[in-house]
Structure 1
Amino acid sequence: MLAEMAFNTQDVFVADRFARWREHVLRTYVPVEVDSDHVANFAASQRILDLGGVQLWTMEHSPMTLRRAQKPIRQSDPELYHLSLPLRGTMGLISSDQEAEYEPYDLVLHDTSRPHLIRATTSHSEDTILGTGLFIPRKLLLLPQKAIDSLIMRRLSAREGIGALLAHFLTQVTRDAGSYRPDDGPRLGMVAVDLLSALFARALDAGNSYPPESHQQTLVLRIRAFIQANLHDPQLTPRTIAAVHNISTSYLHRLFQHEEETVAAWIRRQRLERACHDLADPAQRTIPIHAIAARWAFRHAADFTRAFRSAYGMPPKDYRNQSSQHCRADSC
């Protein structure tokens, strides 16, 4: 399973819960002041999953505020972008001369290098706030700094398009964390960054306002996100991808010249990784291997077996059996 850090105030004596929560926030986020009008009955739980350099967090808690001041920033700044996705309750964010409020399924980006105040509140019918999001090292987002700065605190929708795809990815990885292997973490982190970068590129609609190399990079990110969303489609080929993005097939191949793999090789690896995950999933043990192969657009079982053996050093049946044995040994 993925490396995980978890905290729940239910595991702490009532009188110590808020103090322990404040300590936990300082240890897992950045130096901030934590306040709440619900100290006496404060409740909170948090999970943080390690996705390589990226961390995926999910948190449910009583109303509270987090204040990040200038002095702590000078003393300690991990230079993180903080992506938040409220799922229940509302989140107010104040930074410099900006102030905004976000409803459930509004995505918002802010920066640990800037002073800010986060105020999480509930409606009359709710007791706790629920949210998820990412901690992302600034160096991992490849868009121009000026472009990212223009997105700080901008409301982005997670109700449709790439935003909805990103929201689904975050909640699904959290829900299925136990079925992934530790070495899946960095790959999942890369997918998260690709989806986020594609969402930003769409929001910016950069066009020709940035250098050609920046425009090409954002286009590659959009294409990767499109591929991720359509891996199940047998008609997903370089020709169809190029047509959807209004570029020629030859230009698509040129875009991937500077990537680690050709576009076709990247599609195949992504499909194999999805199939690999499904084969190792205890909940899918009864699904025939050929059905899993077809789910990820491998039309012929023999082709799937050859590709899987080449990538993982064993046929899919042996991989499933080996994963099942490990799972029983770990009492999963």
Structure 2
Amino acid sequence: MSSAIPQHRPNRRPARLALGHLRRRRVVGASLALAAARSAAAQTPWPQRTVRLLVGLPPGGQADLLARGLAPHLATAFGQPFIVENRPGAGGTLAAAAVAQAHDLHALGFVLGGPTTTARALNPALSYDPARDFTPITLITRVPFVLTVHPALPARDWAGFVAYVKAHPGAVSYASIGPGTVTHLGMEELKARLGLDMPHVAYRGFPPATLDLVAGRVQAMFNVPSAALPQLQDGRLVAVVQTGEARLPTLPGVPTFAEAGLPDTAFFGWTGVVGPAGFPRAMAERVAAVIRAALESDPAARGGLDLAGSEILGTTPAAFAAHQAREAARWNAVVARLGLRVTD
């Protein structure tokens, strides 16, 4: 009677562990090298060369107009060129990643909420950490959204819109300016709250999303007044509700969510400026002060936002950091509650 001799199978786990350890060492090594480069850059006067103003949306949006309006003021104040570089896509995280990885501190980001608040919660594999890899500089502006719909929809108020969507599940698609932005998360929260079936279509900014909304390729979106006002005025779009705490002077006939029966639903879009981690605090204060002075003294620096329902701010770095913390707490809770995920 013979007995089978168990075959020897080599244990490959140590090799995998060694490879994983090597990868971690490489990541740590790269992080230490980046920190060392930033530390050296922070010891020299800033700026030493051209500063890139990175915008995560295409030309023509609020962040882009603000960056272009403020660039000449920054160049005059600091004696170096400030150039605007548009890097649209992935809800603004492509531009934010470029700021996070700027080893010489010569990049500033004109950012919306998602890239520096909720991006990591939506995508754990993101290449940067919103809570660690940026220096808040200033919150420039805050603006409510207007829910705009294609006029082919027989909805002229919020109640009518909800009733139509419920009667036609899956037939009404909505646009956003990217995953993780408030235009996405705000609608997803309302969908879950009210039991709405609305497919999501992400765009790279308000202008292309608005064009497709006017063309009827999507049926609804939370839009900024500056992008939607011309189409609302000539009837190519219809506004049913707005997300602020009070009615907009430019759209006095459009009620707030509170007036439409949904209290505690107000939310805003905003644009702020961040630097890379390690950006000197004194320099952040100075950049914020230059931007605030430009906003107060030169209408051209505001990118034409005064008539578009935007609240012009120009805060200190500390005030902007507090604002970002509040926004992150609110919208990261929504991401967790709804189980939302976005992958690269």
- TM-score by length of structure 1 reads 0.24
Instruction: Name the structure with the higher helix share.
Output: 1
- TM-score by length of structure 2 reads 0.23
- Work out which structure has the larger RCO, using CA pairs closer than 8 Å and 6 or more positions apart in sequence: 2
